[in-house]
Amino acid sequence: MQTVTSEAAKPASKLLYIGGILGLPLVGMIAFALQAVSAIESNPQPFLDLQDQIQTLAFGGSQINPEMLESLFDPLIEQMKPGLALMALSWLAVIGLFIKLVQASWAALREAGDAEAPSPWGMALLLLIPVFNFYWTFRAGLGWVRRYNQLLDARGWSRPRFSESLMQGACVTWILTILPTVGVLFALVNSVLVFMLLGRVIDEINWLAEQSGATQAA
């Protein structure tokens, strides 16, 4: 009998998810930088005014007041609006891909037989709530890993267990990116961990879809 694969649980290719989640921010930042350079070259005066003021402050000049700061930055921001919009769109696309991947991972558990798994879209969309998502990232990420490993044990599937410590490290470092100064270092560590996790998560979602398809065909 032909095996039927559950398309509802199977995500798009690794190229889409890994390339999109890790590549789109880089493309957005490069596009913004190029647009900013072009804008400054076409009208360098606001940039020169700001540079002069910074040099004055560096050598013990008078402090900048908020009104002066706004008058210096506003022309620069106006020039860079297209680049800022493009960078914002790239990050919105990344968030969309990430939310869809979280939804697909929980849907795969349900399709493979974990009938008590929470709502896939509920688990994913709650990550969009500011501040609360610091807590929810553990429920959506680490919680999925634990349920996945439990499903392997319950079904007796001979599949390598997913590393809880790796997912936990990604959750913790993501939260620590909000720290001033050192947050940049945690962001770099988090990027490496996310890169390591993405491929494995997609592999397991597709593998779970195959198991659910084989069960339906039996």
For 155, residues 6+ apart whose C-beta sits below 8 A from its C-beta are 112, 113, 211
Task: Say which amino acid occupies 173.
Answer: T
At residue 21, the pLDDT reads 83
Structure tokens at 102: 């979280």
Tokens of 46: 């606001």
Q: What is the CA radius of gyration of the chain?
A: 23
Which pLDDT band holds residue 61 (cuts at 50, 70, 90)?
low
Q: How many domains does the chain contain in total?
A: 1
Question: pTM of this prediction?
Answer: 0.77
> Do the beta carbons of residue 121 and residue 95 sit within 8 Å?
no
Mean pLDDT of the chain: 82
Structural domain of residue 101, as residue ranges?
Answer: 1-217
Confidence of residue 127 (pLDDT cuts 50, 70, 90): very high
Side-chain half-sphere CA neighbours of 100 within 13 A: 16
pLDDT at 1: 36
Phi, psi of 166 (to 5 degrees): -65, -45
